[in-house]
Amino acid sequence: MEILAALLGLLGGLLAGLFGVGGGILFVPTLVLVLGLSQVHAEATSLLAILPAVIAGAWRQQRYGNVDWRAAVLVGLGSIAGVEGGVELAKALPEGVLRRLFAAFMLVVAASLAWRAFRTKPSYSSRGDSA
Amino acid sequence: MLRLLAIGLVAGVFSALFGVGGGIIIVPLLVAVGGLGGRRATGTSLAAISITAAAGAVAYGFHGDLKVGSAALIGLPAALGAVAGVTLQQRLQTRTLTIGFSLLLTAVGIRLLI
C-alpha cells in the first residue's frame, strides 16, 4: 500500500506539472482509498503533500520564464484569507457529506478539463508553442 | 491587483475545503481575468499554490489533522513527478493527456461516491 501510495504521488506530481493542477485532487483519494485516512485528515495531509510538488514545479517553470511572481504573490496572499473559511467549513461538515462534496468536485473538474480539451484545438497549455 | 487578490480568495476557500491546491480555479481565472497566457498561467498558479497550500497546512495543523508521514510518502515522489511534468509540458500537445486525466478523475469521483 505504501508503494502504491508513493507511485500515485509520483503520478499526481506529474499531472500537477503538466496542467498546473492535479496534485491534491489525486492525493486526497489516494490518502482515503489507499492509506485509509478520514476525509478531513486526507485533505489536511494533501495540502502538506502538495508543497514539495508545487515548489519543485514552480522552480522549473521559473527556469522556462513562465512565472509571473507579482501575480503569484497577490493570488497567494488573497488565498490566505479564504483558507481559514475553507478549513472551518470542512471541519463543520459531516465526514460523509464532505466526501460526497469532494467526489462531486472531482466530477466538475473532470468535466471542465474535458470541455477545455474539446473546445480548443491545440490545448491551452500548448498555445504559442513554436516547436 | 484587486482582481488577483479576489482570485486568491476564491481559490483559498476551495483549496482548504477540498485539500487541493486550487489550480483548477486559479489557472482559468488567470487566463480569463488576469490576462495571462496558458503556460504562464500554469507556472504562476504553481507559485501561488505554494503559498495557499502552506497556509492551509498550517491552519489544519492547528486542528491536529496533519499526518506528516503520509504527506512525505506522497509529496516527495510528487516533487519528482512535478519536475518531469513541467519538462514534458514544454514539449507535448496535452490534449490527449487532458482527456485521459478527465476520465481518470471521473472514475475516481464515482468510486468515492459509491
CA distance B11 to A80: 9
Q: Which residues of B91-103 are buried (b: 16+ CB within 10 A; e: fewer)?
A: ebebbebbbebbe
Q: Chain B contact for A66, CB < 8 A? A: yes
Q: Chain A contact for B33, CB < 8 A? A: no
Q: Chain A contact for B32, CB < 8 A? A: no
Comparing A26 with A118, the larger pLDDT belongs to A26
What predicted TM-score, i.e. pTM, was given to this entire model? Answer: 0.86
Cross-chain residue pair A17–B81, CB shorter than 8 Å? yes
CA distance B77 to B97: 20
Q: How confident is the model over A98-108, as a mean pLDDT?
A: 93
CA A12 to chain B, closest CA, distance in angstroms equals: 6
Provide the pLDDT confidence category of residue A22 given band limits of 50, 70 and 90: low
Predicted confidence (pLDDT) at residue A123 exceeds the cutoff of 80? no
Cross-chain residue pair B46–A54, CB shorter than 8 Å? yes
Predicted confidence (pLDDT) at residue A121 exceeds the cutoff of 60? no
Interface confidence (ipTM) of the complex: 0.87
pLDDT of residue B105: 83
For residue B81, give the C-alpha cell.
Answer: 513527478
Kindly list the distances between the CA atom of residue B49 and the CA atoms of A31, A121, A127, B96, B110, in Å, as whole numbers in the listed order: 20, 28, 23, 25, 26
Calculate the average pLDDT of chain A.
Answer: 87
